[in-house]
Structure 1
Amino acid sequence: MPPAHGATPSPLGEPAIRPPQPPGESFALPARDTSVAVARRRVRHQLYGWGLPSTTCDNALLIVSELVTNAILHTQSSQVRCLLWSSGQLLRIEVADEGPGLFRVRPRAADSEAENGRGLLLLDALALRWGVVAPDQRAGCTVWAELTAAAQQSAPAAPAPHTRARTAQALLPG
Structure 2
Amino acid sequence: MTGAPSGTAVRRYAFDVPARTDSVSLARRRSKDMLTGWGHHEDLHETAALVISELVTNAVVHTAGDHILCELTDLQRALRIAVRDLGCGSAGPRLCYSDDEEERGRGLLLVDAVSSAWGTHDAPYGPGRIVWAELAHGGPGKAGRPC
- What is the CA–CA distance in structure 2 between the aligned matches of 1:29 and 1:90, rounded to whole Å? 24
- What is the CA–CA distance in structure 2 between the aligned matches of 1:38 and 1:68, rounded to whole Å? 10
Which ranges of structure 2 fall in alignment gaps of 5 or more residues? none
Q: Deviation of residue 16 (structure 1)?
A: 6.7
- What is the CA–CA distance in structure 2 between the aligned matches of 1:121 and 1:71, rounded to whole Å? 15
Residue in 2 aligned with 1:81? 69
Larger RCO, structures 1/2 (Cα 8 Å, 6+ apart): 1
In structure 2, do the counterparts of structure 1 residues 84 and 104 end up closer, same or farther at CA, with 3 Å as the change threshold? closer
Q: What TM-score, normalized to structure 1?
A: 0.73
In structure 2, do the counterparts of structure 1 residues 16 and 97 end up closer, same or farther at CA, with 3 Å as the change threshold? closer
Residue in 2 aligned with 1:162? none
Q: What TM-score, normalized to structure 2?
A: 0.85
Which ranges of structure 1 fall in alignment gaps of 5 or more residues? 1-7, 159-174
Pick the structure with more strand per residue.
2
Alignment map for 1:61-76 (pairs within 5 Å): 61-76=49-64
1:142 aligns with 2:121: no
Which stretch of the first structure deviates more once superposed, 58-67 or 92-101? Answer: 92-101
SS across alignment from 1:33: coil
Q: RMSD across aligned C-alpha pairs, in angstroms?
A: 2.4
Q: Which runs of 4+ in 1 moved over 3 A?
A: 15-19
Alignment map for 1:125-164 (pairs within 5 Å): 125-134=113-122, 137-138=124-125, 139-150=127-138, 151-152=142-143
* Structure 1 counterpart of 2:55, one-letter code: L
- What is the CA–CA distance in structure 2 between the aligned matches of 1:70 and 1:64, rounded to whole Å? 10
